[in-house]
Amino acid sequence: MPWITPDAHAQAIEAAREIVLCRLDRSAAPRAALVELLERKEVDPRISAEVLDRLEAAGVIDDAAYAARLARTRFAEKGAARRAIAEELRRKGLGERDVTAALNQINSDDEDAAALNLARKKLISMRHLPWEVRRRRTAAMLGRKGYSRDVTMRAIEDALAEEQGGETVP
């Protein structure tokens, strides 16, 4: 950035700040997304960094809180597994420390219970189909949500056993 007057600098800061605040009015966003937004608007990188640093210091931008909220929401509302949530957080540009802290909210027992609940719902919705088809489709759904093969198979077996009154399904 060539030398600019203090007034021009203040105007550039205010314009960038306004862009960021308008975006944050719609929904929370991680810093990386805001950097990309300012790049698309052709804001000088030094101006962007200054604006984002100020907003971060003021607590307006908080990647850790954003990651924690997104992890809770994806797990509670969509039944996404920790692995899928971690991938989404990384795609959004969040650092490993924030990703790890967000995933620490969800333990293995929570994940197992969610997988079992999802398996029950899916299996019930396909009662009219042969059990092999039901099993395959349920496994595919859980896999898309990020559950490991072990968690998926255990959830399906438990849900099918419950459905059959405790009998083991071949």
Residue % of the chain over a pLDDT of 90 = 89
pLDDT for 2: 58
Predicted confidence (pLDDT) at residue 166 exceeds the cutoff of 90: no
Q: Is-contact 75 110, C-beta < 8 A?
A: yes
CA 169 to CA 157: how far, in whole Å? Answer: 7
Nearest-CA neighbor of 80 among 131, 129, 147, 130? 147
pLDDT at 137 over 90: yes
Q: Is the pLDDT of residue 3 over 70?
A: no
Q: pLDDT tens across 95-119, in order? A: 999 999 999 999 999 999 999 999 9
Return mean pLDDT, the chain: 93
Return the ∠ at Cα 108 (arms to 88 and 164), rounded to 5°.
110
Place of tokens 């957080």: 89
Angle at 48 between CA 57 and CA 61, to 5 degrees: 35
* Residue range 58-79: mean pLDDT, rounded: 96
Higher-confidence residue of 162 and 164: namely 162
- Asked whether the beta carbons of 41 and 75 are under 8 A apart, the reply is no
pLDDT of residue 165: 75
pLDDT at residue 164, as a whole number: 81
Rounded to two decimals, what is the model's pTM?
A: 0.83
Q: How many CB atoms lie within 10 A of CB 169?
A: 13
Higher pLDDT, 68 or 4: 68
